[in-house]
Amino acid sequence: MRLSTKGRYAVMAMTDLAKRQDESEGRAVALAEIASRQQISLSYLEQLFARLRRKGLVISARGPGGGYRLAKGAGETFISDIVLAVDEPLRATRCNFTKGQAKGCMAGGERCMTHGLWEEMGRQIHGYLASVSVADVLNGDLRPSPMGIAAE
């Protein structure tokens, strides 16, 4: 499973927003500032923040001094919420989903032999991202893998 730029950039931008908002005592932060600091296209960030706003993760402010603020505190904003808000799937299977029904990845609609493995891996990834807040990222308070797997 690989996280696309949508998910990675949204997390980078939200972490930057939280840090700058904290430093400026709650002032709204302009996307152009975030784009410059994080080296992300402004138009791409605008698209991502439109999705984040629709999902209630950020609040926009117009006019002079306008920009964005976190809708909740950094400790209450979880990485999984950010990733899901920008339509990044957190699943590792190749199965298709139609109207809430899973359709298997094999011809004829059945599931492959390793489906359970990839499905569980997706749940583990989601569980980890749901346990990490933006504040955790800012503070470097990232928990080691519960399975004791060493980072590369």
User: Which pLDDT does position 30 carry in this prediction?
Assistant: 94
Mind listing the pLDDT tens digit for each residue in 21-51? Answer: 888 887 899 999 999 999 999 999 999 999 9
Identify which of 126, 144, 43, 46 has the alpha carbon closest to the alpha carbon of residue 83: 126
User: Which pLDDT does position 99 carry in this prediction?
Assistant: 47
Share of the chain above pLDDT 90, in %: 53
86 in any annotated domain? yes
144 in any annotated domain? no
Share of the chain above pLDDT 70, in %: 80
Assign residue 117 the CATH number of its domain: 1.10.10.10
150 in any annotated domain? no
Structural domain harbouring 82: 5-139
18 in any annotated domain? yes
C-alpha distances (whole Å) from 120 to each of 20, 39, 84, 108, 116 are: 36, 34, 18, 23, 6
Count: domains in the chain: 1
Q: d(Cα 50, Cα 18) in Å, to the nearest integer?
A: 17
Q: Say if strands 96-98 and 67-70 run parallel, antiparallel, or are unpaired.
A: unpaired
10, 40 Cβ separation under 8 angstroms: no
Buried b (16+ CB within 10 A) or exposed e, 113-132: eebeebbeebeebbebbeeb
User: Which pLDDT does position 116 carry in this prediction?
Assistant: 82
4: left (phi over 0), alpha (psi -120 to 50) or beta: beta
98 in any annotated domain? yes
42 in any annotated domain? yes
